[in-house]
Amino acid sequence: MSEVYISVDVETDGPIPGPNSMLSLGAAAFKRIGSGKTKTNDFEMVGTFSVNLAELSGASADPSTAEWWKTQPEAWAACREDVQPPLPAMHRFSDWVTAFGVKPVFVGYPAGFDFLFVYWYLVKFTGKSPFSFSALDIKTFAMATMGIDYRDVTKRSMKPYLPVGKPHTHVALDDAIEQGELFCNLYRANGLKR
């Protein structure tokens, strides 16, 4: 494979890294089936990664995000199990990404939020990001695939492409898998247009 698409979801206690902390990181790696000119528009999941992170020293939870977490007790409990210090956790994540041996593409929904946290944490704790600046936004890809305005791309408008039986749990790994499968479905539909 020449690329691996890594669907990433993070759970945080606020809107920006540094003042706020990433609490959980989940990732699911997908590759296209086949190679070279025989690549298909089908994908297979080739690995997952999940870690819960200890809060950053000196950071604090955003009050409105803390209120939202009170409405998600199961997800909150899940992201506070077996918390790990960010330094070794981000090194393990970087090693997991680079172990595929090909160029990784970060896939997020929305990429602008998840990539912000992951990139900041990677640079802060490992010195670099294996993704470089490569981040694919599922919402933007859906806009191009469906031929609709960006603000019209919602879970409702993407219903034909959503994975069946995958609820959005706000558990990072669950959501990363769900979003990765959404990306694969959109890619497949986009390929049918060619």
Catalytic choice (53, 93, 121, 170):
170
Q: What is the DSSP string of 32-87?
A: ESS-GGG--S-EEEEEEEEEEEPPPTT----HHHHHHHHT-HHHHHHHTTTEE-HH
CA distances from residue 170 to 57, 130, 146, 174 in whole angstroms, order as listed: 24, 25, 26, 7
Distance CA 42, CA 63 (A): 42
* Active site annotation includes 91: no
**Which residue type occupies 129?**
S
Distance CA 147, CA 156 (A): 15
Task: List, by residue number, the catalytic residues.
Answer: 170
